[in-house]
Amino acid sequence: MRITKPEWLHHDADKKKLTAIFSVDFHPDGQRLATGGMDNKVRIWSTHAITHNDTAQPHAPLATLAAHGGAVMCVRFSPDARYLASGADDTVVLIWEQDTHADYSGLGDGSLSEGSEVWRPVRRLAGHASDVCDLAWSPDARFLASCGLDNRVLIWDTRTFTQVAELTAHTQFVKGVTFDPAGKYMATQSDDKTLRIWRTSDWALHATVSAPFQDNIFSTYFRRPSWSPDGACIATANAANGRVPVVAIVQRAAAWPADLSFVGHHAAIEAVRFSPRIVSIDGTQTSVCAAAGQDRSVSVWLTSQPVPLTAATALFTGSVFDLAWHVPEPSSYENEDDPVVARLAACSFDGTVALLECTRSELGLPVPIPDQGAMLAAHGWSRPYKSARTLADLHCSDGSNDDEYDGSFDGRPRPIAETVAQIHLEESPIREPRESRIAQALEPISKECAMEPVSADAEPTVTKHMEERSGVSSPAESALTEQAMPVPVRTKDGRKRVAPVFIRPLGGSRASTAKHSPTQTANQIPAPKAGQPPLADPPRLPIDTPLWIEARVQSSIGTFEATTDNEDADVVARVVGPAGAQSLVHAQPLTAARVRLSVPAVVAQLNFSGTVSIVAHNTDSSSRLVCASPGTWTAYLDQPCVALDASAAVTAASLVDGTVHWFDSGSGARLAPPLMLGAPAAVVRCTGCFCLVLDASGLISVYDVVALEARADHISIAPLLNSLDHTVPALTGVLLSESGDFVVQLTNGCAYAFNTPLRSWLRIADPHAFRRSDFATRPSNRPITSTGTFAAYSRSSASQLEGIQESAHLQYTRMQGAPSEPTASKAVRACVTLDHIEHQLMAAATIGNDDDVVRFTDLLARRLAQTADHARVSFWLDALLGPALATGEQPAIKSWTPCLASVPKRRLLQRVLRILASNRHLQSQVSEYSTALKELLET
């Protein structure tokens, strides 16, 4: 190994007063080395000058980039070699691009770029509120992640360089970020002693690793982790085993264990960096990792052995802050005896940079790119890799960014900007609100409801179809078959009947001692066997006693008597009218269902634990409610309690006589006389000041208990029970929001929200809809914890709406198996995706979630900017602007409302116009609506 440390490579004119260098990175071609330092500048150096010339002979940098207003903390080249990103303590990320056609003689004083190369800042990303500590490009260069001392991680879409996500789960400074080479995850490391792993599909938190960092007592400038090139593990900085600093290796497995470590450094570790190529040493394929820190040394490790391959001690006089690798292609040294197969650069607080060169005899040879791609494929990476020759080919292939918009459209070149306003719109950033109304309203989830991370790489749940093939049936499937699946039977006269169906109870209470004798129907459905495990569903709706639905097909003109001649024939119903007239029709089963829900059984004790902790002690003829928090109070009721639920404001108890009693959760004061229902209550839900009651006849009512008025009155769930496969879906969830909106989930994977102005149910989730969309819901195996409110879903997924959809689809997947994945052309997928985004936007408005409305509006605008569909663009601009510019002939404009959910439409229009401005083919429309919006805002 040869170590080169050029004296002329520094960030100050006087080498006797060197300034700290915080970051270093190689250009993908290996010919340039970028450094960022305390002098507020980025410098680009020639690698050839470092490795082939006298280190004492001074060499000027190829370029000096001076546009930051603070120390440059991180520099990173994009994998496709197009951009250089730099982050500084001026809170700004700059995107630089080399101008190969510039006339250097006309640069004037060269205040932005000095040297033989010209680099220009093409984007200024202003989103952080404090120092930017680290940057990372996704492997396909589609996204750029930045993190900093504002405890946040920002995700930027590199097609438009707009912010697409803000990750705020860390509670202290975020000092490192790295992407999974398989493209599925991103990892961030923070001073809160955690490594958090995020899904790149929706930027939701996937897992949190904290064990390797709990013993850590060291303070560091950075915590720069690195993902191995085969995707199998993450090397983390500043971990500790007792008082010993180590590099903790977090393995890609179900629980993300961190049982392995690199031990050898004597002080805190600032940065680790894997070589981008897997190497083969004596027939063993392994990854190569470098580590450096405050002991001023650099070590190189192989993941296949427990001791370091080499260690360079006393290499610097200050802490080592950053590392960078470059691996030349084997074709560049195929005729050499012992060629250099890898170069490692390290920078230090002492203002110097060292270059370590490893030869073939020391490090072996890199494995072929297709072989490395095959390893990534084992972790879900699916891009073509057999023809790839370089890492850029591997990750940034032609098919990796099919929907990327580069300013051209239909083969036409990008038009010039016609107005100054167009330039301002293109450059103006889309700023996300720091805190949303919904986020402020949601209460923190208790420790009992915290989501446990479950890896997507874990073994999937065995579906019904898989078990049929293998001949094995799980206990959960057995319970499902016995309790929840409809059973077709024949009566004595040969007619076909659908048996009543057991479904889950929806009461929010937990039974500790049960004495239950289920009511038998005419079809004699058996009760669950003793000791039988519950359904394999999320714990948010615990199973207590069976709740069943009996549905009978009816018509407005008579009763359907369904008969079939054979098992496979269509159902043919004979309609008997009032006057005896008869006709044959092909009937849709359950066109109007009469619903009967079983009432929860009386048990000795009901427990409810959440914001309110309350217990109901039942006897044969009475009940005693005992509240332990937030207040201490007792209430006596003259009938046994069968359902119990509570929020911070309201406690609701349903009794066997069909009454519902409301109490103040803090004091126990009675809020109203008993509520009399038309049928006994099967489900009770409380959220905020609202109480939802679902009675045994299938009618939902929502009450504002404080104002003593009905928000929704006797809404029937019968329309939701339609089924084309002659089965009756069962209820799996009833959710209530802080604003009184509610959602019903069924075993068929669908979720429905009731729209009060329409007086109708709207289906907001369907496992079979939009399967060809790029954003199709694909349920994971992770549990989603809830207490029957919307709150948990906003923290368990990318959005509240998608969390509800994932939960409903998960129920369906566990019962029926995952829906098939249809194949579709690029044009069909684009059309379905746009339709899906519009559906998501209106569904978010239906459930009243402001955050989701803003998110899906931005997503819709980006899709419209890519497609340049002028008619669709005009429709949405009209819908957001209102009647000020629209012709008034469109029905949508005549009944225009100023808000979506509670977000002003014209505020959304401001965001949409900035996004659409990225496509200059739309600039005439953007200009027209921008002028109209400006006039409206001024008046």
Tell me the pLDDT tens digit for each residue of 285-331: 999 999 999 999 999 999 888 889 889 988 899 999 999 999 988 77
- The reported pLDDT for the residue numbered 519 is 35
Half-sphere exposure of 444 (CA within 13 A, CB side): 4
Task: Give the confidence band of 702 by pLDDT, cuts at 50, 70, 90.
Answer: very high
739 closest CA partner among 783, 811, 701, 790: 790
| Residue the block writes with tokens 């560049």 | 332
* Number of H-type helices and E-type strands within the chain: 16, 59
Q: Rounded to a whole number, what is the largest CA-CA distance in the chain? A: 109
- The reported pLDDT for the residue numbered 855 is 86
Q: Residue 206: is its pLDDT beyond 50?
A: yes
The pair of three-digit structure tokens given for residue 907, joined into one six-digit string: 């505020």
Task: Give the confidence band of 575 by pLDDT, cuts at 50, 70, 90.
Answer: very low
Give the Cα separation of 642 and 645 in Å (integer). Answer: 11
Cβ atoms 607, 618 nearer than 8 A = no
Reduce the secondary structure of 518-586 to three states and give it as a string: CCCCCCCCCCCCCCCCCCCCCCCCCCCCCEEECCCEEECCEEEEEECCCCCCCCEEEEECCCCCEEEEE
Q: Residue 20: is its pLDDT beyond 70?
A: yes
Cβ atoms 766, 805 nearer than 8 A = no
Burial of 51 (0-12, 13-18, 19+ CB in 10 A): middle
Report the b/e string of 441-463 with b at 16+ CB within 10 A.
ebeebeeebebebebbbeeebbb
Bridge partners (DSSP) listed for residue 755: 760
Give the Cα separation of 92 and 86 in Å (integer). Answer: 8
Average pLDDT over residues 352-360: 91
Tell me: the pLDDT tens digits for 501-550? 443 333 334 333 333 333 333 333 333 344 443 333 333 333 233 334 44
Q: Residue 616: is its pLDDT beyond 90?
A: yes
Q: Residue 426: is its pLDDT beyond 70?
A: no
Q: Which of 461-475, 601-615, 725-739 has the highest mean pLDDT?
A: 601-615
- Direct distance between the N- and C-terminal alpha carbons of the chain, in angstroms, rounded to an integer: 72
905 closest CA partner among 841, 837, 862: 841
- The reported pLDDT for the residue numbered 428 is 65
- The reported pLDDT for the residue numbered 783 is 42
Half-sphere exposure of 859 (CA within 13 A, CB side): 20
Tell me: the pLDDT tens digits for 651-666? 999 998 889 999 999 8
Lowest mean pLDDT segment, chosen from 40-49, 217-226, 791-800: 791-800
Is the sign of the CA dihedral 208, 212, 215, 217 positive or negative?
negative
370 closest CA partner among 277, 476, 270, 492: 277
Give the Cα separation of 634 and 628 in Å (integer). Answer: 9
| Residue the block writes with tokens 């208990």 | 705
- The reported pLDDT for the residue numbered 522 is 32
Bridge partners (DSSP) listed for residue 279: 286, 366
Cβ atoms 572, 622 nearer than 8 A = no
The pair of three-digit structure tokens given for residue 205, joined into one six-digit string: 């938190």
The letter for the amino acid at 171 is: T
Other beta carbons within 10 angstroms of residue 713's beta carbon come to: 11
873 in helix, strand or coil? helix
- The reported pLDDT for the residue numbered 385 is 53
Cβ atoms 62, 46 nearer than 8 A = yes
Q: Residue 784: is its pLDDT beyond 90?
A: no
Cβ atoms 549, 728 nearer than 8 A = yes
Task: Give the confidence band of 117 by pLDDT, cuts at 50, 70, 90.
Answer: confident
704 closest CA partner among 681, 686, 677, 680: 686
- The reported pLDDT for the residue numbered 457 is 40
- The reported pLDDT for the residue numbered 525 is 30
**Cα R_g (the chain), whole angstroms:** 32
Give the Cα separation of 441 and 167 in Å (integer). Answer: 19
How many residues comprise the chain?
Answer: 939
What integer best gives the mean pLDDT of the chain? Answer: 75
Half-sphere exposure of 134 (CA within 13 A, CB side): 28
Render 807-840 in DSSP notation, one character per residue.
Answer: HHHHHHHHHH-PPP-----HHHHHHHHHHHHHHH
Task: Give the confidence band of 607 by pLDDT, cuts at 50, 70, 90.
Answer: confident
Give the Cα separation of 371 and 368 in Å (integer). Answer: 5
Half-sphere exposure of 456 (CA within 13 A, CB side): 17
- The reported pLDDT for the residue numbered 535 is 31
Tell me: the pLDDT tens digits for 80-113? 889 999 999 999 999 999 877 654 433 333 445 5
Q: Residue 723: is its pLDDT beyond 80?
A: no
Report helix angle 923-938 to 870-881, nearest 10.
0
Average pLDDT over residues 353-359: 91
Q: Residue 243: is its pLDDT beyond 70?
A: yes
- The reported pLDDT for the residue numbered 494 is 53
Cβ atoms 367, 394 nearer than 8 A = no
- The reported pLDDT for the residue numbered 470 is 36
* CB within 8 Å of 119: residues ≥ 6 apart: 44, 63, 65, 84, 96, 97, 98, 99, 113
Q: Residue 566: is its pLDDT beyond 50?
A: no
Tell me: the pLDDT tens digits for 146-203? 999 999 999 999 988 889 999 999 999 999 999 999 889 999 999 999 999 999 988 9
What is the pTM assigned to this prediction? 0.48
- The reported pLDDT for the residue numbered 413 is 53
- The reported pLDDT for the residue numbered 339 is 85
The letter for the amino acid at 84 is: L
Quote the percentage of the chain above a pLDDT of 70: 69
Tell me: the pLDDT tens digits for 874-930? 999 999 988 765 444 454 455 788 898 889 999 999 999 999 988 888 888 898 899
| Residue the block writes with tokens 């289920």 | 518
Counting other chains too, the contacts that 613-618 makes at CB distance below 8 Å and 24 or more residues apart are 614/644, 614/646, 614/651, 616/509, 616/641, 616/644, 616/653
Average pLDDT over residues 792-814: 64
